[in-house]
Chains A and B, each alone.
Chain A
């Protein structure tokens, strides 16, 4: 199927507006993707035609709200190839999803039990486990890294012990773009009876995910990185894995019966959706994923890989540049991080803004990885299918100007 980035941009109102008014080369998609019309239209339709609280009312308006909300759950399940919509828990984002597991699963752990992480992790898949260590006395073990920041899976037997209870790693790095090799991790985890959680915040915007094929237990991601609304995310949990978890947050909607002495809890997913959920946002996310599922991903990923190669080639010839992460496109998302000798990432980003180029500079909520690379931060360009050659060329031109101005 043919793919045109120009046609794709027409599905994103913000990009249309900027193209008309002033140049915007939006290359900060690893932070937030732009929101598509499908998501906005679905959320607006709910707010204007079906707005009511969910799972509470018996009037027709509330029933319409229920139906729209539960339909979104099915749409997310389809995008993830989940066995059932009941495996989809709506949260406020990846961070909330991971914290949910860190509390609900983590509080079942004993002192001395082990959780395997890596230095590649975003703080949202690092700090919750450090907090768990403080609460429960668990031990955190770190997978080693190769020089380019990819996970080094050659010595898994040194990391996984019989006390390992959970492996929590990123599906793809938000700094290097490297896609984790999941199969060996799942095999090693299964060998010691451990669960596997993937942080899918970056991977989910690059095409449908098959949680069944991955063979994992939990998958966490955010709506706003998947061209959907902010304020909503998902925790997918394999049916039995989710059912084994106690509640995390208590409140309305997550109970079966509340008594003065004893309260029983609803089955998943409601057990984990205390309080009024982000209804419009969930409906918007469902619509976004439904739309994304129908897109020509092979052609789109080939397009973004070509742009990433154009960027890598353009950067490689600039004096004083060092890559933070792999130099090649093997098993890698179109996310490229780099530094110029003597130029702080924030200063470079400030100059790039003048060129209409929106990129992120800093530690990218991955300070352990920055320490590993012995850098304070990096400039990161992250590419989405609506980007084109003009975006990459504007970035490269802006960088040349930044070097001239700041050195």
Chain B
């Protein structure tokens, strides 16, 4: 496994596209999470409709893996509810541990080369965890 596998063009493009980057004027839920390992920081905002994500916005100070993961959520996150988002986070963790990506998220295969680099798993998971926390903040409110 070399860095060309890790930083393949699809992943670079996903990070560069930055789907969902920005902020929402009136979010229903919001969370900020830091990675204690590297200092990466993700802010996630969600707008909801009937308990499902209508819109996602994120601000990411992080590496390419973290930015690509956030971009993926911006692309496919709308439509999920809190339980599905929690399940997705677990599925992504399982994918990084060696499992198959969940259906409907083919781009998660881009992160397969991250598997042997355990210290980088947190970079991929941080946006998913932050999104769960953003939804949780709305539920608690």
Give B117's nearest chain A residue, CB to CB: A350
Chain A residues 355-407 with CB under 8 Å of chain B are 361-363, 367, 370, 376-377, 402, 405-406
> B3, A376: Cβ atoms under 8 Å?
no
B124 to chain A minimum Cβ distance, whole angstroms, is 12
Is the Cβ of A344 less than 8 Å from the Cβ of B62?
yes
CB pair A376 B39 closer than 8 Å: yes
> Is B38 a contact of A351 with CB atoms below 8 Å?
no
Q: How far is the CA of A363 from the CA of B41 in the complex (A)?
A: 12
Q: Is A353 an interface residue (CB 8 A)?
A: yes
In the complex, number of A-B residue pairs with CB atoms less than 8 Å apart = 44
Nearest chain A CB to B109's CB is how many angstroms away? 19
* Interface-central residue, B38, B39, B41, B120, by most chain A CB under 10 Å: B39
CA distance A246 to B90 in the complex (A): 48
Instruction: Report whether B3 and A405 are in contact in the complex, using a CB–CB cutoff of 8 Å.
Output: yes
Residue of B nearest to A348 (CB): B63
Q: How far is the CA of A351 from the CA of B61 in the complex (A)?
A: 19
Which one of B61, B64, B65 has the highest number of Cβ atoms from chain A below 10 Å of its Cβ?
A: B64
Interface pair B38/A362, CB less than 8 Å apart: yes
Which residues of the other chain, A, contact B120 by a CB distance below 8 angstroms? 346, 350
Cβ contact within 8 Å between B6 and A350: yes
**How far apart are B100's CB and chain A's nearest CB, in angstroms?**
24
Tell me if B123 counts as interface (CB < 8 A to partner A): yes
- Give which listed residue, A346, A370, A402, contacts B123 with CB less than 8 A: A346
Whether B39 contacts A353 by the Cβ 8 Å rule is: no
In the assembled complex, the Cα of A354 lies from the Cα of B116 at a distance in Å of 14
Closest CB-CB distance, B23 to chain A, in whole Å?
Answer: 19
Does A16 sit within 8 A of B, measured CB to CB? no
B87 to chain A, nearest CB (A): 28
Residues of the B chain whose Cβ atoms lie less than 8 Å from the Cβ of A406: 7, 12, 64
Asked if residues B7 and A347 are in contact (CB atoms below 8 Å), the reply is yes
Please give the distance in Å from B17's CB to the nearest CB on chain A.
Answer: 15
Q: How far is the CA of A361 from the CA of B37 in the complex (A)?
A: 10
Interface size on A, residues (CB 8 A): 18
Residues of A within 8 A of B107 (CB): none
- Cross-chain contact A367 with B39 (CB below 8 angstroms): yes
* A308 vs B133: C-alpha distance when bound (angstroms): 44
Contacts of A370 in B (CB 8 A): 39
Question: Would you call B38 and A405 a contact (CB within 8 A)?
Answer: no
Contact A354 B64 (CB under 8 A): no
Nearest chain A CB to B85 CB, angstrom units: 25
Q: Chain B 58-74 against A: per-residue CB contact (8 Å), 1 yes, 0 no? A: 00011111000000000
Given contact pairs A344-B64, A347-B64, A406-B64, A376 touches B7 in the complex (Cβ within 8 A) = no
**Would you give the shortest CB distance from B138 to chain A, in whole angstroms?**
28
Q: Do B64 and A376 touch across chains, with their CB atoms under 8 A apart?
A: no
When the two chains form the complex, which single residue of A344, A345, A351 contacts B3, counting CB atoms closer than 8 Å? A351
Interface residue from B3, B6, B7, B38 paired with A363 (Cβ < 8 Å)? B38
CB atoms of B2 and A354 under 8 A apart: yes
- The interface residues of chain A lying within 8 Å CB-to-CB of B6 are 350
CA separation between A406 and B67, bound complex, in Å? 13
Residues of B within 8 A of A362 (CB): 37-39
Smallest Cβ-Cβ distance to B6: which chain A residue: A350
With A and B bound together, what is the CA distance between A345 and B6 in angstroms? 15
Contacts of A361 in B (CB 8 A): 38
The answer for the CA separation of A376 and B38 in the assembled complex, in Å, is: 9
Q: Give complex CA distance A405, B4 in Å.
A: 8
Complex CA–CA separation, A377 to B3 (angstroms)? 20
Closest beta carbon of chain B to A34's beta carbon, Å: 20
Bound form: Cα–Cα A36–B140 in Å:
55
Which B residues between 1 and 27 are near A, CB-CB below 8 angstroms?
2-4, 6-7, 12
What residues of B have a CB within 8 angstroms of the CB of A346 in the complex? 38, 63, 120, 123
Which residues of B22-36 have CB atoms within 8 Å of chain A's CB atoms? Answer: none
Interface residues of A (CB under 8 A from B): 344-347, 350-351, 353-354, 361-363, 367, 370, 376-377, 402, 405-406
11 contacts between A and B (CB under 8 A): A344-B63, A345-B63, A346-B123, A347-B64, A361-B38, A362-B38, A362-B39, A376-B39, A376-B40, A376-B41, A406-B7
Which residues of B are interface residues toward A (Cβ below 8 A)? 2-4, 6-7, 12, 37-41, 61-65, 117, 120, 123
